[in-house]
A and B are shown apart, each in its own frame.
Chain A
Amino acid sequence: MKFGVIVFPGSNCDHDAAYAVAHNLGQPLHHTAEFIWHSSATLGGVDAVILPGGFAYGDYLRCGAIAKFSPVMRAVKRFAAEGGLVLGVCNGFQILVEAGLLPGALMRNRGLKFICREVRLRAATTRSPFTSAALPGQTLRMPIAHGEGCYFAEERMLDELEAEDRIAFRYVDNPNGSLRNIAGILNRERNVMGMMPHPERASEPLMGSADGLVVFQSMLHAHSILQKTPQATSAV
């Protein structure tokens, strides 16, 4: 499975994401991750897209507010509309929200300070291509590193997210004031997920946790099913 990692000017977790999927997922090393420059109009045949963490375009305005206008985002939207898997981590989540691919907003942390630390997450649903490898209600350890990760949406939207089982992860000890302890959400079609914690930073025991692999393994699994389906059809 080939992951495409989008590189905005100011992305700084791009190499970490590529390293995690290339080295820690048990995939053959070649052709597992490729970088896609922000000015690119196409995604070049990747199987899934990762919007990595960082400070796209410096984020001196609202986080992700400029990134949503970059040419590559048109391609990402098209890819998502066609059912492709899109994962936004941290700044990537902020960009997906700004771009309208996910609902709500990410505001300043409750304490108004940047927080870098490990948090515990609960897999709120396993019914998604990003969380299927988790056990229902499983607690996962992953780091957060953000200043603006307080998830906000209107009550009605929050109810809708819950009713449609679109909350992917919840914080066990809410570090940033996110409403309803939301750490990650899905779009209605369940092929786009944004999350503030960093699964790529928890992808090998040496980093203190390998729990983040759950996200990438789920994506791998979803992709393998997708690949098998057309074959099955043609066999009929």
Chain B
Amino acid sequence: MKRTTRFAALAGVAALAFAACGQAPEQSGGEATGDAASSDFLPCIVSDQGGFDDKSFNQLSYEGVQAAADSLGTELKQVQSQSETDFKGNVQSLVDQGCNVIVTVGYALSATTVESANANPDVEYIIIDDAADNDFDGETDAPNIKPLLYDTAQAAYLAGYLAAGYSQSGKVGTFGGAEYPTVTIFMDGFKQGVDHYNEVKGTSVEVVGMDQFTGGFEANETAKTTAKNIIDQGVDVILPVGGPIYQSAIAAIQDSGRDVALIGADADLYVTDPSSQALVLTSILKKMDVSTEEAVQAAGEGTFDPEPYVGTLENEGVDIAPLHDFESKVDPALVEEVEALKQQIVSGELKVTSYLAE
């Protein structure tokens, strides 16, 4: 029996990578089915592992679909994925329930979406944060998928410039949940913004933690220690990228007893999490709600087009949030400079590089 223990421990440790496995998909029957609705158009959405209550990414996408369903006068169906093994089954179950358009949230669902789209040419798919181009030929892999992409580097660039100007210590920090392109695009843009500030002002503001990842998107002690280690380096602005890990950063800031400002990612943290208000300098907005709503709306009106959408500062798919409580703490001249930078990026005068815009 002692072998059993050891075996179990080995299996348990090996299974850590799949810690979320073994659970049935959480399927909501709460949202009524399409029959009762005034329209028989059925929009559906499947989350990635974060779930629809992640205060970022999945939640915003969900709100977009919800808004579109409301204005189309129809109901929606939603399925949450608990682990990667759920993706296939969840998407298939939505197809089986007769969904007209299926929104898949996150680049982790890319392969599943492409496969399902090719098998069901009558269903329309909208994938968020991925080009659905798994053979890398520059084309979407199925004619019935509309990819929604966000060049958040542009907004992060502005946040980086703002942070560099705001920082008293000459050090700003960032860290991510995992090394996904959708995460690093924030960090890269942020770094470029700081570099630009240094170039313009002749300063040498440092970015700490550029290759710092917590290995997951849980707000836990690992994320908190990561944030603490970065704060210990003397940063006074920190940008955590990856859903709820900002909560760990908040706890680390409180424990440090220092004056460290937080930059939110995806949604305006000041609004979505009121407990963070005293700390939020600004947020890098990725307006998934708006673009998802528009795409679903178009599908409902029969004008679905598979052309990839790329959110930029120009089309307001990405942006930075108002300063809220920090309005008084930031030099108005700096705010004006950020505004001017924004115009330069919109006009194409200033290029921010990212994987979406070489």
Same complex for A and B? Answer no
The chain B residues found within 8 Å of chain A, CB to CB, are none
The chain A residues found within 8 Å of chain B, CB to CB, are none
